[in-house]
Amino acid sequence: MKMTKSVKNILNNYESDNAGTKGNLARILMHGKLAGTGKLVILPVDQGYEHGPARSFSPNPEAYDPHYHYKLAIDAGLNAYAAPLGMLEAGADTFAGQIPTILKLNSANSLATLKDQAVHGSIEDALKLGCLAIGFTIYPGSEFQFEMMEELKELALEAKSLGLVVVVWSYPRGGNLSKEGETAMDVCAYAAHIAALLGAHIIKVKPPTAHIEQKDAQASYKNLDISTLSNRVKHVMQSSFNNRRIVVFSGNAFTDTQGLLNDIKEIRDGGGNGSIIGRNTFQRPREEAIAMLNQVIDIYKGKN
């Protein structure tokens, strides 16, 4: 398939990047069923690290096997598959060249007492495993946020100089943030903006709610209609360099399919670039997951 105008236009926004990074970004955008549309769906599987194996995989025990996720991403025609080191190592050779992969370089876990993450992978690992991108989480608000941003700075600089794409999970957490505040409109837009300022190529945020967390920000939202998710997504895109950066939205905990699909429609209508959906896919039987992902893909294709 030849490169489309949609993809070419997106690449043009990454004007400081070398051809290596643009090429890898193109490979992600030109892969799978959404190839060429400028939209993308990514399968992330770091929940085993974040929440533990049983909480993640017991609903669908086949998912304990790392090969399961490679196959799911390939067979569902997704754009990319993201996971931590060991998960990718366990299938890197079998599936080499079959699906763009993203090496998630840091993770937290539910035994942790600190709002930080461990950096457990490197750029060299990413190149050896044939990954096209690295993934990194920051927790804006946390008392470790500056340290995390500094780790990202080093990794992103090296990644970009070697032609890799940088995906930033920007998840506000800790500090003075309330639980509700973690997904507040102002905080989510802020998180996306910070990720863009840190040089992310692809930004992952949670779908924002209509809540405004920061007192100082309330005035700025008075004249903005954020009553619908699509409008909120629109504001996140605006905050991501006026649509110059790719933003994908997470699916979060397992929800009913219809609710998820409605959210996807709003993300699409708000101009979001796509979704990164983990638990909602691998926690249901494979055939059901593929069917649901097909529906998601159809929405991004504009069919619904």
Residue numbers annotated as active site:
204
Of residues 204-243, which lie at the interface with its own copies (CB under 8 A)? 214, 216-217, 220-221, 223-224, 235, 238-239, 241-242
Largest CA distance in the chain: 54
Residue range at the interface with its own copies (CB under 8 A); choices 149-157, 248-256, 257-265, 274-282:
149-157
> Measured on CA atoms in the order 182, 183, 184, 187, is the torsion positive or negative?
positive
3-state secondary structure of 62: helix
Of residues 160-189, which lie at the interface with its own copies (CB under 8 A)? 161-163, 172, 175-177, 186-187, 189
For 106, which DSSP code?
E
Picking from 33, 35, 32, the residue whose alpha carbon sits closest to that of residue 7 is: 35
Least spacing, CB of residue 277 vs its own copies, in Å: 20
Residue range at the interface with its own copies (CB under 8 A); choices 23-31, 247-255, 261-269, 274-282:
23-31
Which of 112, 178, 262, 291 forms a contact with its own copies (CB under 8 A)? Answer: 112
Buried b (16+ CB within 10 A) or exposed e, 3-17: eeeebeebbeebeeb
The token pair that represents 257 in the structure block: 């399919």
Q: Are 26 and 11 in contact (CB under 8 A)?
A: yes
Picking from 239, 260, 242, the residue whose alpha carbon sits closest to that of residue 250 is: 260
Residue range at the interface with its own copies (CB under 8 A); choices 120-128, 246-254, 268-276, 291-299:
120-128
66/207 with CB nearer its own copies: 66
Which of 6, 9, 54, 288 forms a contact with its own copies (CB under 8 A)? Answer: 54
174/265 with CB nearer its own copies: 174
Least spacing, CB of residue 87 vs its own copies, in Å: 6
